[in-house]
Amino acid sequence: MKNFSATLLSLIKSRINQKAAFVMVTFIILQFFFAPLISLRLSHKESDWIFSSYAVAFSALSYTTIVLGVLFLHANNFYDFFDRITLWAIAVGCFLRSLEVVGNTYGNLFAIYLLMLGASFAIYITTNKENIKGSTLKTFTIGVMWSIVTVITLALVAALISGKTQNMLPEGLGIILFRKALEQLSFVTIIEESLFRGLLVSILILNKHKEHTAFIIQAVLFWAIHYSQITLPFMFLIFLPLLTISTTIIAYRYRTVYPSILVHTLVNVFTTSLAIWFQTCFF
């Protein structure tokens, strides 16, 4: 297995150079801009079918790019930002997404592909673990605390801006939040954080950009891909910038992606419900 990992890294290094890797990641990031346009251009009936098919294909393409990108970075002896926890999160993301796309248009084929991709990546992580950066309990603890502070801050800001509300927390909230967490992990947060705070930053650094410049570039691009929220001033001008700043700071400070995945996931899952709770209890 170790010989397989070494051969695989050698093959990746010989086939993908730094510019090719940058183009590959840039292409995937551009896909984020296309998704809202596809939905806007189509009727609702067409949009449901085509957009869901696009989402399934995009998931497979994104995870493939992330896995190949990580192998490319390792082949070039660049191990920052993708420690063991982050890599296992990516593998788990493949597995979770494969379960969600079953039954969709072409979903079974993509499900099999994602299962194979996740299993192959898991084997690579296991056989190459001595070369992969480990994590510390301190980093994990700070990541959890930073996530909680970010969620509470954003929820309070949302509650203060919205004021008193008639919205109520739904019944079965626990199940709703659990399902939302699985969806966010498999299709949103692992993909976005790995691409932006992970691959894009790493490849920019390999292409001789300064580290702080790389983080600024990814932050601006991450904010820009959410342009469909521009009609919602709070979301586009306050919520997204604060989320971007929070995830960027934690990734920059601890040079790993999984804390930003944790922040992003908890924010997307809990902020709305917590804001409603603040509104009903204190306003």
| Mean of all residue pLDDT scores within the chain | 87
Residue 144 CA to residue 66 CA, distance in Å, equals 24
pLDDT of residue 164: 65
SS3 per-residue string spanning 244-278: HHHHHHHHHHHCECHHHHHHHHHHHHHHHHHHHHH
pLDDT of residue 43: 46
**Model's pTM, two decimal places?**
0.92
Beta-carbon contacts of residue 194 (< 8 Å; ≥ 6 apart): 66, 82, 86, 90, 257, 261
Beta-carbon contacts of residue 82 (< 8 Å; ≥ 6 apart): 70, 73, 132, 133, 194, 198, 202, 256, 257
- Residue, of 202 and 4, whose pLDDT is higher: 202
Which band of pLDDT confidence, cut at 50, 70 and 90, is reported for residue 145? very high
Q: Which amino acid is at 182?
A: L
Helix axes 258-282, 173-183, angle to 10 degrees: 150
pLDDT of residue 165: 63
Q: What are the pLDDT digits (tens) for 225-279?
A: 998 888 889 999 999 999 999 999 999 999 999 999 999 999 999 999 999 999 8
* pLDDT at residue 42 is higher than 60: no
Residue 184 CA to residue 199 CA, distance in Å, equals 19
Query: Which residue from 62, 63, 75 is spatially nearest to 16, judged by alpha carbons?
Result: 75
Question: Is 14 strand, coil or helix?
Answer: helix
Q: Where are the domains of the chain?
A: 2-282
Q: What are the pLDDT digits (tens) for 61-106?
A: 899 999 999 999 998 889 999 999 999 999 999 999 999 887 766 6
pLDDT of residue 48: 60
Residue 191 CA to residue 189 CA, distance in Å, equals 5
CB-neighbour burial class of residue 148 (10 A; exposed 0-12, middle 13-18, buried 19+): middle
Q: What are the pLDDT digits (tens) for 153-193?
A: 999 999 998 766 667 888 899 999 999 999 999 999 999 99
- Residue, of 58 and 268, whose pLDDT is higher: 268
Q: Are 82 and 257 in contact (CB under 8 A)?
A: yes
pLDDT of residue 213: 95
pLDDT of residue 56: 84
Which band of pLDDT confidence, cut at 50, 70 and 90, is reported for residue 25? confident
Question: What angle (nearest 5°) sits at the alpha carbon of residue 84, between those of residues 149 and 128?
Answer: 170
